[in-house]
Amino acid sequence: GAVVSQHPSRVICKSGTSVKIECRSLDFQATTMFWYRQFPKQSLMLMATSNEGSKATYEQGVEKDKFLINHASLTLSTLTVTSAHPEDSSFYICSALPPGSYEQYFGPGTRLTVT
């Protein structure tokens, strides 16, 4: 099946620094990728839809200047958490959507801890 990777899998950073998370589709091209956030024992919350070559579409309540998304190629989207604060600590998951399909392939997730 299709494979999506995420890097890093785990990151600890100090408050005020920025962290970049990469999401790659390894064996297919994805014009659309999604970024999710998940709090403990809760379901996934969609943060934004990342479209190759265009600006990301953010969900209501998600600060686009805080969570910068870049989808520079058909296999790579990045999420940068800028000026991270402890409340940004969470599990971030990406997914990639092959063209013409509804089936999303999920990355393994990145656990961010901001101290």
Partner 1 sequence: KNEVEQSPQNLTAQEGEFITINCSYSVGISALHWLQQHPGGGIVSLFMLSSGKKKHGRLIATINIQEKHSSLHITASHPRDSAVYICAVNFGNEKLTFGTGTRLTIIP
**Least distance CB 111 / partner 1 (angstroms):** 7
Distant-in-sequence contacts of 92-95, Cβ < 8 A, 24+ apart: 92/21, 92/35, 92/36, 92/37, 92/38, 93/6, 93/35, 93/36, 93/37, 93/38, 93/44, 94/4, 94/6, 94/21, 94/23, 94/33, 94/34, 94/35, 94/36, 95/4, 95/33, 95/34, 95/36
CB nearer to partner 1: give 19 or 96. Answer: 96
**Least distance CB 108 / partner 1 (angstroms):** 4
Q: Which residues in this chain contact partner 1 in the complex, by CB under 8 A?
A: 1, 32, 34, 38, 42-44, 46, 49, 91, 93, 95, 97, 102-109, 111
CB nearer to partner 1: give 43 or 54. Answer: 43
